[in-house]
Amino acid sequence: MSGIDVSKYRALFIEESREHLSQLSRLLVALEKSTAPIPIIDEIFRHAHSIKGMAASMGYEPIVSLAHRVEDVVAGFRRDKRPMDKITVDLVLRGVDGLALQLGAVTEERPIPALDELVLEIGNTLADTAGPGDTKGGIAGATPTSRPAPADSRAPRPAPAGETPAGSEKLVRVTITAECPSPAARFFVVYRTLAALGKVLQSTPSIDEIRAARVTARSAAFHLLSEADAAVISARLSGLPEIQSAAVDADSRGSPPPSKRPPEVAARAPAEHGEAGKGSSTVRVRTDILDNLIDNVGDLFILRQRLENLVAADAPAELRAALDALSVRIREMRDQVMTVRMTPMRTLTDRYPRLVRDLARSLGKDVELKIEGDEIELDRAVLDNLDEPFVHTLRNAVDHGIEPESERVGRGKSKVAHIRIAASRDRDTVLVVIEDDGRGLDAAALRQRALDLGLLQPRQAEILTQRESLFLICLPGFSTKAEVSGVSGRGVGMDVVRAKIEGLGGTLDIESEPGVHTRLVFRLPLTVAIINVLLIEAVGRVFAVPVAKVVAVREMGSDTIHGAGGATYLSFRHALAPVVALREILHLGGSRRPDFAVVLEDGRDLVAVGVERVVGYREVVVKPLGDPLDRLEWFSGATILGDGQPILILDLPKAVRARLAA
């Protein structure tokens, strides 16, 4: 054992442990509201047991100790088939938080904190809350002050170095699931688990092959000398993640000596290795590799466009055909890479039930969170930037949107408040709605609050529409709460929310009915890596606008209305959209009247941008702006056209909004 380096498996341990902790938090919150708690308790137990087993295999004793205590708490309720009370749920959640803290230390390669006080508190609680099946003063016979062993209490300790442990020889056959991304890492965990039960005499694949990660088979055989019976060994292995089956011979004492390969293993090994290619359907890939891959695909896009520009119209048919075939292959590669980058919403939203529960409890409120459409997928780059705005929105909803219980009852509402997150696909975008059934937003009160804070002039307040009044909560420094809260105030951070969403190329809309609800609608792009843009020109300069933000393009003519004071409007969809020249927005100079109007939808309002020429549509790779260009508020990125010309990508709705407000 001393020659085995477990550090190569640390990343896998961290990733899997995070998944288990996320599921533990989600299940514990669901348990409080469930009318059928026993299946949930069973699942909670399995996650806690998996963390303990993996930590024991890695030698992370403090994590084993705490996970074992959490497992003991759950085991009592699981064994006695009784529901878990709220006090115990709180205790287990504290244990989950402690495990997350310890996992953070592993991630940062710091010493793992023992958290002895938390372990002791849980141990003492075990003695106080022993169920009817407990006969030793604690769940599963645990003593309050003792630190638990990392392995099963019925399992024998490994024999000291140089000693041969007592017991019988057993042949252990293990098969892992087809979804397991790293067979070598999983078999190493199995090896460590068996080594804690006795002495592994021989294995196929060999331990050297496992250590070197040269394993592709989905099955392995271990020759074990141990006092533990077959049931204990099978139970320990079945509790590990990604184990499909674990079979143990009751007694293989008559099998060949360990110096020779057992006949059964020898007979099975060739078939197992020969079937290796049928097993794995998934593989874990580092995100930086995916980022580099999408950059390379983007460069291929640019090179393809340059080739198309260089090839003359009268080029040989064979050359045109080859170029067309290349374009098809690059597009297929793009689609495959983008598919790999797509990540389900649940990776983000799984922790929100715990967040809402804890916030509501701290404020003395009872709030239920319902999540719909969490299977909807977004580009990882988009998803990574949504947590901050979504958390801001949820905190605002719980703290200020949801009324106290007495106020809700007085309005004829249920004592339990509800928040809903719903995601759905809409063509090339994703709609995410976050809605609460709280007190809503009062437009008149918002205008008055903005006046009191000096964020609005009386003349401006008089002409604001209902919708514009709701968007006052997105002004920097605006809040409807006079006092500073440790949680939030409606409006605190909403400027950050809007900026984040628009920075991704998305939009935010706000709907509210006083006393009934508040609904925030986020329209998000599926990806920010490769997008379709409309190329437009003003004063001889070409800019790109994401097609997702364009409603239509109209030629300036009979539909154009010139109003008083030089204002221009475009009649579109039975409404008048104000027209602002792009040269005026960007202060480019010139005096030529626009020939075309690019119609945009900013929330529910229509606006039009006048341009001199519409160059056409392009599929482009978005490049981030570096310093100091990233300080340009109205530009969301840049791209390179096929002729090598760099083009800035405009955030037109934001630019028009700033121009009209000036």
pLDDT at position 412 is 92
Task: Look at 386 and 307; give whichever has higher pLDDT.
Answer: 386
pLDDT at position 276 is 39
Task: Look at 11 and 144; give whichever has higher pLDDT.
Answer: 11
Q: Phi first, then psi: what are they for 531, rounded to 5°? A: -135, 165
pTM, to two decimals: 0.67
Using pLDDT thresholds of 50, 70 and 90, give the confidence band for residue 459: confident
| Continuous segment of H or E residues that includes residue 32 | helix 10-33
pLDDT at position 139 is 39
Answer whether residue 137 shows pLDDT above 60.
no
Q: Phi first, then psi: what are they for 134, rounded to 5°? A: -90, 130
CB atoms within 10 A of CB 640: 18
Average confidence (pLDDT) over 474-491:
64
Q: Which of 231-245, 284-298, 551-565 has the lowest mean pLDDT?
A: 551-565
Answer whether residue 275 shows pLDDT above 70.
no
pLDDT at position 516 is 92
What DSSP letter does each residue of 464-526 carry, written as one string? --HHHHHGGGGSTT--S-SS--SS--TTTTHHHHHHHHHHTT-EEEEEEETTTEEEEEEEEES
Task: Look at 481 and 68; give whichever has higher pLDDT.
Answer: 68
Quick one: what percent of the chain has pLDDT higher than 70? 82
Answer whether residue 480 shows pLDDT above 80.
no
pLDDT at position 486 is 54
Domains of the chain: 6-151 (1.20.120.160), 168-253 (3.30.70.1110), 287-344 (1.10.287), 346-525 (3.30.565.10), 530-661 (2.30.30.40)
| Six token digits for residue 10 | 């640390």
Average confidence (pLDDT) over 161-165:
46
Instruction: Identify whether the C-beta of residue 148 lies closer than 8 Å to the C-beta of residue 61.
Output: no
pLDDT at position 274 is 40
pLDDT at position 160 is 47
Give the side-chain half-sphere CA count within 13 A for 387: 11
What DSSP letter does each residue of 561-600 carry, written as one string? EE-GGG-EEEEETTEEEEEEEHHHHTT----PPPSEEEEE
Using pLDDT thresholds of 50, 70 and 90, give the confidence band for residue 534: very high
Answer whether residue 211 shows pLDDT above 50.
yes
Average confidence (pLDDT) over 99-114:
92
pLDDT digits (tens, 9 = 90+) for 632-662: 778 888 888 877 788 899 888 878 877 776 6
Answer whether residue 487 shows pLDDT above 70.
no
Q: In this structure, is the dihedral angle defined by the CA atoms of residues 27, 29, 30 and 31, taken in order, positive or negative?
A: positive
pLDDT digits (tens, 9 = 90+) for 596-633: 989 887 666 778 899 999 998 888 888 877 777 777 77
Tell me how far apart the alpha carbons of residues 201 and 251 are, in angstroms, rounded to a whole number: 15
